[in-house]
Amino acid sequence: MSTLIVTLPPSMPTQTTPCSVVWAEDDRTVKRHLDAPLSLLPATPDAEIVVLVPVGQLSWHLLDLPKGTLDRNFFQEGNAQRLRSVLDGLLEDRILDEPAQVHFAIEPGAQTGAPVWVAACDRTWLTAWLGALEQLGRPVARIVPEMAPPTANAAVAPVLLVMGTPDRAQLVYGSELGLSVLPLNSASVALLTQAHPGDSPLQVVAEPAVAELAEQHFRGRVSLQTGPQRALAAAQSAWDLAQFDLLRTRGTRTRKQLATWGTSLLQAPHWRPARWAVLALVGINLVGLQAWAWKEESALAAKRAAIRNILTTTFPDVRVVVDAPLQMTRSLADLQRQSGTAASGDLETMLGLFQTLAPEIPAPVAIEFVAGELRLKVLTPSEAALSSATAKLQANGYSAVLDGDRLVLKQERRP
């Protein structure tokens, strides 16, 4: 799945506001980079829209949250406002604006008992850009920071980024203490050098436009990183600033997480072996099901052939087999009539069986026999006697049903 990364300008959105856009086909390759007005952003229906918040638009605050604040229920519906109130109280004296005008976001994987990074930005500015993109048919899937400080327990060396243009170059220093944005000059370089004593030199990364200035000030090798490369790396981070009022319901969060996981499973290169394994497993199961179905069909056909063979062998007069059990029953009945033997559906057989199996039922006062159905007019039998007789007759292949004052007996057809 492709990704469209839109870097938000510091100004409020208008139709002509230029935006820096990076279009990537995967997590490692930049397919296209351009600066386009908001109204002319590329139309990519299948792409995931990721909004990148520049370094200068965010402030970072390291907080020790009260015990129990990060319990799971705080992120469930109805409890996000409580966590937001806690952040408002802790950051009220650290920010210049009113807390209601600031959007907060907590670092991913925050744990109780450890300092937590909280990102803050202008809420009005951010919501205006999200609304403008929504109106243009570019719904935002994630909001990520351009740079973020490392977590407190992460053993990450400080990183120094030189960005901007030669006449307005800036230094971005990221460490476990946060992010600092300074102008590129001798004073700021000396300040950062003093703040980073040690044998290992600073890891300096610079954009191509200011790489020469960075080499002059730091007197060492500078790694190059373009703006699109930095945007692509930021889009792969675990950060998502869409929290609290920007992610209103638990259902929205769940759908968003499922969509992200599904996209990763279907598109990410490191899941390719797993995808092939699933396809192979599905293929093996389909082949196995087909083989099992073929075996069962063959066994059923063999049983049908055996039944037809028994019918045609026992009764040679039967030429065409349509319903083997029914034809065998009729042929057997014909054979019994020809030999003078009472069949199971004859009157004598049914009366004898009724007399033997239902002695508790009073003797019938009238007998009617039509087409294999015996109707006996009897006085109303007791429920226990009728239940016992019905069970015994059913065990011998006959059904007995009381229809008014008549007990109806008939032979049940069994396959």
List the structure tokens of 221: 């090798």
Is the per-residue pLDDT at 311 higher than 90? no
The confidence score (pLDDT) of residue 21 equals 92
Give the domain CATH number at 263: 3.30.420.380
Position 33 in a domain: yes
Please write the tens of the pLDDT for every residue from 16-68.
999 999 988 776 778 888 998 988 888 777 778 899 999 989 999 999 888 87
Q: Which of 319, 340, 361 is the last residue of a domain?
A: 340
CATH of the domain at 169: 3.30.420
Residue 178 lies in a domain: yes
Closest CA to 161 of 227, 218, 201, 207: 207
> Pick from 340, 356, 380: which residue ends a domain?
340
Residue 74 has what pLDDT?
45
Listed residues 226, 253, 281: the one ending a domain: 226
SS3 316: coil
55 close to 180: Cβ distance less than 8 angstroms: no
Q: Are residues 42 and 137 in the same domain?
A: yes
How many domains is the chain partitioned into structurally?
Answer: 4
Residue 139 lies in a domain: yes
Let me know whether 285 and 382 are in one domain: no
Q: What confidence score (pLDDT) does residue 76 get? A: 45
Task: Please name every residue paired with 384 in a beta bridge, in sequence order, or none if there are none.
Answer: none
Kindly indicate the confidence band of residue 250, based on its pLDDT and cuts at 50, 70 and 90: very low
Do the domain assignments include residue 88? Answer: yes
> Rounded to the nearest 5 degrees, what angle is found at the Cα of 149, between the Cα atoms of 233 and 79?
100
- Does residue 139 share a domain with residue 159? no
Confidence label for 120 from pLDDT (cuts 50, 70 and 90): very high
Q: Which of 89-93, 313-317, 346-350 has the highest mean pLDDT?
A: 89-93
% of the chain with per-residue pLDDT over 90? 23
Indicate if 39 and 141 belong to the same structural domain: yes
Same domain membership, residue 335 and residue 287: yes
Strand order in the sheet with 59-63: 59-63, 116-122, 102-106
Is residue 187 a part of any domain in this protein?
A: yes
Mean pLDDT for the stretch of residues 6-11: 93
Is 117 within a domain? yes
Query: Do 10 and 137 sit in the same domain of this protein?
Result: yes
Query: Are both 248 and 303 inside the same structural domain?
Result: no
Shared domain check, 141 and 52: yes
Whether the pTM exceeds 0.75: the reply is no
Q: Which of 193, 214, 241, 217 is nearest to 54 (CA)?
A: 241
pLDDT of residue 315: 79
CA dist., res. 186 & res. 403, Å (int): 111
The arithmetic mean of pLDDT across residues 93-116, rounded, is: 86
Together in a domain, 98 and 212:
no
- Is residue 232 one of the residues assigned to a domain? no
In a domain, 320, yes or no: yes
Q: Domain range spanning residue 100?
A: 1-148+237-267
**Pick from 140, 125, 134, 146: nearest CA to 4:** 140
Half-sphere exposure at residue 164, Cβ-oriented, CA atoms within 13 angstroms: 17
Same-domain pairing of 290 and 386: no
The answer to whether the CB of 240 falls within 8 A of the CB of 53 is no
In this structure, the answer to whether residues 102 and 217 fall within a common structural domain is no
Task: Assign 251 a pLDDT band (cuts: 50, 70, 90).
Answer: very low
Residues 209 and 351 in one domain: no
Q: Which CATH number characterizes residue 396's domain? A: 3.30.1360
